[in-house]
Every structure is written in structure tokens, then in C-alpha cells.
Amino acid sequence: MERSSDDIRRQVSEAYTRAINSGCGCGPGCCGEPRQKGTVVQSAGYEASQLEALPADAVENSFGCGNPTAFSELRPGETVLDLGCGAGIDLLLAAEKVGPEGRVIGVDMTEEMLDRARRNIAAAGYENVEVRQGYIEDLPVETGTVDVVISNCVVNLSPDKPRVFAEIARAMAPGARLRISDLVAEDLPDWVREDADLYSSCIAGAVSEQEYLEGLRSAGLDEVGIDERLVYDIVQLRELLGSELVDDGENGHRDDLLQRAASVLEGKVASVLVTGRKAGS
């Protein structure tokens, strides 16, 4: 049976609520085998020196698949918007780069994630960051006010990506830049597309690179392209699924799904850095 957009967002939000409440410093379902602190975020593209400066909780509760701030060339005084900010790792990295004259806004639908982000912002001592509860399909952000849009492994989770792309374009100021790390996927089998756990794990909702770029162009953005691409091999897929896969409590369900999915997904899933610009100066 087709799931409605509201059902999808509710299930995704529940998965990330479980993840942040699990207290084991890992993804939505890996409490059985807690990941080593920082291993997934480091392979996602963060440098050890960047992570050392952050509150440990922000690092341990990072669920991204890239480092959108690394290539963003954020400048002092700019306003940055992070779609699906989670526990706040990229908010903190952006806050450092834009400085006290700049501003960082994080949007997320999951209250528990926002609570954690608020605590991490306070622990890091930044006063130029705020988080807002809302959907990325209906951004609680004024039109034309954002200089740089970043996001880390979130748009794939949206049931209405054209709406997200339109909202991004609306929020961007003339000349604003886009730097999104996300997963894309080609030719996924139907059983993968229909699996709710694989959806929350950032796989089943991922669209092709072409569909992603066309979506952004249709929303009116220019200079849309891919700056980095990492096609996941089986080891990277096991790492991703092992840290993100939701444990629904069914005996052996997670391990079975992990094995089945990793073997059919090899070469079909990639982490990409998507770039774009809004016309104007």
C-alpha cells in the first residue's frame, strides 16, 4: 500500500527520535553494535581537527553522508541555512566560519533532534546560531534572506522533493549558493524502494543524480552540478546501513536486511556534493 507524505515523514521522524534517544552514539538502529566514535563522520568527509573542536555529542550524533561546509567557502557575515540540521554538527562548523556578524539557521522536523542541537549550540558557546522546527517542504524562513543553503543527507528523506527544491529557491537571496551533501541512487529494486526501514536509512527515497539536478534547475537555480561523487562499495554500504538502519525489534530482521540490501546496492548508491546558485548578485 502506498504511504502518504505525512506517513513517510512521521516514520522518518520516529526513526530519528529513536536514534537520538538510543544513547549509544550511533545511527537509528545500531545499538547492538555501537559504532566506534567518529568513524562514520570521518568517512563522511570531516577532518579530525574539525571534529576535535566540537562538543562530542554533536559528533557522535551526526547522521550525514558528507561535509557540506568543507567546500562552501562560507564568508564572515553570511547567513547560512541548514536543511535537516539534526543534532547540529554542520551548524557549529558553519557558525565558526561566518563569525559573530553572520547567522546560521537550522531547520528540522524532529523535536528531539532540535533539543539536542540547542544543547550542542549552548555547549559550543555560539550565539549566532538558532534552530527552528519545521518541514523542509515548507521552510520557516523568510523569502530571499539566505546566502548559503547547506544540507547533509536529508533531501533524500523527503516525500516531495520538487517542493523542497522550490522552497530552497524561495529562501535564497539573489546570488546565493547551494552546497548539499546527499545520497543519490540508480535502478533500485522495487523491494528496496518499498522498504520503510531502508527509506529511513537514506536509501529507498534517494533519486537519481539526473533527477536531482533537473529538480533544482526546474526550481529556477543556475550553475547546478555535482562537485564530488563517491560511489559506495559493499564495505561502505555495510558501514552506512550498519549505522543508519532502523532496529524494529524483530529478531534478526536488521542483520538479514543489511546483508540482502548491501549485496544488491553495490555500485547503485553514491554520496554526492550538489552545487548551485541563484541568479543575481
Ligand X SMILES: C[S@@+](CC[C@H](N)C(=O)[O-])C[C@H]1O[C@@H](n2cnc3c(N)ncnc32)[C@H](O)[C@@H]1O
Residue ranges that bind ligand X, judged by CB under 6 A: 9, 12-13, 16, 62-64, 84-86, 89-90, 108-110, 113, 135-137, 152-154, 157-158, 202
CB 177 to ligand X: min, Å: 18
Q: Closer CB to ligand X, residue 76 or residue 133? A: 133
CB 116 to ligand X: min, Å: 9
Interatomic CA distance for residues 154 and 48, integer angstroms? 23
Cα-flanking dihedrals φ and ψ of residue 40, to 5°? -70, -40
CB 64 to ligand X: min, Å: 3
Q: Closer CB to ligand X, residue 63 or residue 232? A: 63
Distances (CA, A) of 223 to 143, 213, 276: 21, 10, 5
Q: Closer CB to ligand X, residue 154 or residue 258? A: 154
User: Please, what's the b/e burial string for 51-77 (b: 16 or more CB within 10 A of its CB; e: otherwise)?
Assistant: beebbebbbbbbbbbbbbbbbbebeee
CB 85 to ligand X: min, Å: 6
CB 281 to ligand X: min, Å: 29
Q: Closer CB to ligand X, residue 147 or residue 167? A: 167
Interatomic CA distance for residues 251 and 237, integer angstroms? 22
CA trace torsion 251, 33, 43, 129 (10° rounding): 90
Q: Closer CB to ligand X, residue 80 or residue 100? A: 80
Q: Closer CB to ligand X, residue 47 or residue 223? A: 47
CB 58 to ligand X: min, Å: 8
